[in-house]
Amino acid sequence: MDTRQKIIISVLMLGTLMGSLDSTIVILAFPTISENLHADLVTTLWIILIYLLVVAVCTTQLGRLGDIYGRSRMFNTGFGVFTVGSLFCGLSPAIYWLILSRGIQAFGGALMQANSGAIIADTFPPNERGTAFGYISLGWTSGAMLGIVLGGIITTYVGWEYIFFINLPIGILATFLGLRYVKDTVRVDAHLDMIGLVLLGIALTLVSYAGVDFAGQGMTGLNILLFILGMVAIVLFLLYESRCTYPIIDFAVFKNRILKYSIIASFFLSLGYLSVVFLITMYLQGIRGLSPLDAALLLTPGYVVGSLLSPIMGRFSDRYGARLLATSGAAMLILATLVYLTLQLDTPLWVVLVASGISGIGSAMFFPSNNSAVMANAPQGSFGGISGVLRTVQNIGILGSFVVAITVASAAIPRSVAFEVFIGTTNLVGGVSEAFLHGIDASLWASIGIMGIAAVLSWMRGHEVRQSEP
């Protein structure tokens, strides 16, 4: 990399790190936020869900805005919006103000996510993009790890507001560097799909609300109706997209075999694996009685391994393509989940460390190589839109995975207890522990099946050859 490329990748890593950090740092502050803002746990849960929803819904269109007005301009704007949103979050006097502020923060995060892949495609030739995406994955895993550690320390010794204030100096510095060094090189003619955006937003909101309402209230006529309406909205979205001139998801790009299978594999892996992390965290807190911080630290080795290996695996994908590497990564994540399935009421905790390390290797193998395969095969002039599609399907998978984890936990044990386990304020005993463990096992088997689909799709992408652009 030359000096300019190093500065650009550093700014992109900072943006990824901030977004990742805020996805994990909030979880450990749940009890404190709920108590200080006098909110029930179901309402407090929306400080996570609103972030995932906004990012999932907005990413494709914000990537397309980058195509129209400049990817770097949109990315730098996202840094500014994210920083302002973080300020509002820290100053929130009530839970609904915090939820709204998290929405603003998420909009900034979506601007960064949607355009970072396109900036990499603009800056690096196809045979170097895997390395670049490896560093982006390094930023993601490092942020998640820092969020776990800092969330517990800051909430315990300083105050929950500072989990958001910590973003301010980083955001200001990164915005300055981005404006100075990350410049636009390509702009293309593109169009927005606002009807599709609204339909997607309605669908994901209804399904998410139904899942959370089920977790809090049990099965009711309301959440059944909301879920059905959400499924109808998804069907309407897909029908509209198939007929729209400028759709959110342009099905024409899926004529490229590598692009199609890479994007769909990314969705299924995100859907299958992210719930595993939440479920194992709840096992450690609810069944083994660990604090949220101690439970999270047991999973930290996976983040460390992933951080160290991501750039290396990215370079391998530049040289050999993504097919074997990404498929092997999905298989490693399945293996890690199989190890988690051996956990019982008294299993030694070193088993969790082993599974966490295996998962770190798997994620480092899959995500950098798969993401680089998408951008290396994206048509010239559509980098922003394709980057947005990739991020959207990944974020929809993450959102769905989170809702599945909460729903499974609430179905296996009393709902009030499930939320207390989730935030680490109680642990289970006797028959309740066994019931919860059976529920976790059922969900883990479902995750293995979903990740198996991802592995098959990853292999089906076929062989690719990346060459440097002339």
Q: Would you list the domain boundaries of the chain?
A: 3-193+246-460, 195-245
pLDDT higher than threshold 80 for residue 19 = no
Give the integer Cα–Cα distance in Å for 234 and 249. 13
Q: pLDDT value at position 339?
A: 95
Mean pLDDT of the chain: 79
| Per-residue model confidence as pLDDT tens digits over 241-284 | 878 777 776 666 667 788 888 888 988 998 888 778 778 877 88
Q: pLDDT value at position 340?
A: 94
Q: By percentage, how much of the chain surpasses pLDDT 70? A: 84
Residue 374 token pair: 């998408």
Give the integer Cα–Cα distance in Å for 214 and 42. 10
Q: pLDDT value at position 461?
A: 82
Determine the average pLDDT of the residues in 275-300: 78
Q: pLDDT value at position 74?
A: 84
Residue 464 token pair: 């690719």
Segment (H or E) for 276:
helix 257-282
Determine the average pLDDT of the residues in 291-307: 76
Task: For domain 3-193+246-460, give the CATH number.
Answer: 1.20.1250.20
pTM > 0.85: yes or no = no
CA distances from 153 to 135, 158, 308 (A): 27, 8, 24
| Per-residue model confidence as pLDDT tens digits over 223-241 | 889 889 988 988 998 888 8
pLDDT higher than threshold 60 for residue 394 = yes
Q: pLDDT value at position 15?
A: 80
